[in-house]
Amino acid sequence: MKSRLRYFYVACLILVSFVASACASNFVQTKDFEQPYYFSIDEESKIKNDDTNVAILKAVQKYRDAMANKDIETLKSMVSKDYYENGSTTDDLTDDYGNERIEEILNDYLAQSVKDIRYIIEIKQLTQKGLEYYVDYQYIWNFRYEVAGQSYWQSKNDTNRLTLVEEDGEWKIKGGL
């Protein structure tokens, strides 16, 4: 009798483990990515775990890593030929720019001014509209910059949206840098 009960418990444990692992794999999780402290998926995001979503999120992680490492070449390679940014000001066209100014913007901002960067991203949502995918995320951005020989730290905690499109088999950023 004891052996039957033991087999029953073992079978139940196996079944519960199987069901739990099957449910967990339906959605993308932080553990699916490198550097979970710097790049994480909000548990409430419920992003379907499929090849497209994982590839898009890996592109976002690549973007985060390139920003944190001030890797301008990688960032330039990730920008869509149709990139456009309005600088979050819809009524002021003077801060708008497209792909033609990406290198200038990145060099001015990352290469010359910023000395150290700590960039933490938590993915909140991934949605699709037509051929565009939108990744909404919360970020903590700490950076050190120098002005006239003096070093300063600045922090920012905010949300952002990256717009990604597939070009030549790679996910490219179309907006939101």
Residue 13: inside a domain, yes or no?
no
Report how many domains make up the chain: 1
Closest CA to 38 of 144, 122, 153: 122
Residues of the chain under the 50 pLDDT cut: 5, 8, 10-13, 15-22
The pTM is what?
0.79
- pLDDT score recorded for residue 16: 44
Q: Please, are residues 160 and 177 in contact by the beta-carbon 8 Å criterion?
A: no
Q: Please, are residues 89 and 95 in contact by the beta-carbon 8 Å criterion?
A: yes
Kindly tell me the sign of the dihedral angle through the C-alpha atoms of 71, 77, 81, 82: negative
Euclidean distance between CA atoms 116 and 17, whole angstroms: 44
- pLDDT score recorded for residue 4: 56
- pLDDT score recorded for residue 87: 60
Residue 111: inside a domain, yes or no?
yes
Residue 131: inside a domain, yes or no?
yes
- Give the range of the structural domain holding residue 55, as residue numbers without chain letter: 27-175
Residue 171: inside a domain, yes or no?
yes
Residues 72-121 pLDDT 10s: 999 999 999 988 776 655 565 555 666 677 778 788 777 777 889 999 99
User: In angstroms, what CA-CA distances link 113 with 22, 96, 134, 174?
Assistant: 48, 20, 29, 24
Residue 5: inside a domain, yes or no?
no
Long-range pairs for 19-26 at CB < 8 Å and ≥24 separation?
A: 25/49
- pLDDT score recorded for residue 6: 52
In this structure, what CATH number is given to the domain that contains residue 130? 3.10.450.50
Residue 14: inside a domain, yes or no?
no
- pLDDT score recorded for residue 20: 47
Euclidean distance between CA atoms 68 and 120, whole angstroms: 9
- Exposure on the CB side of residue 5, measured as CA atoms within 13 A: 2
Euclidean distance between CA atoms 13 and 67, whole angstroms: 44
Kindly tell me the sign of the dihedral angle through the C-alpha atoms of 81, 86, 87, 88: negative
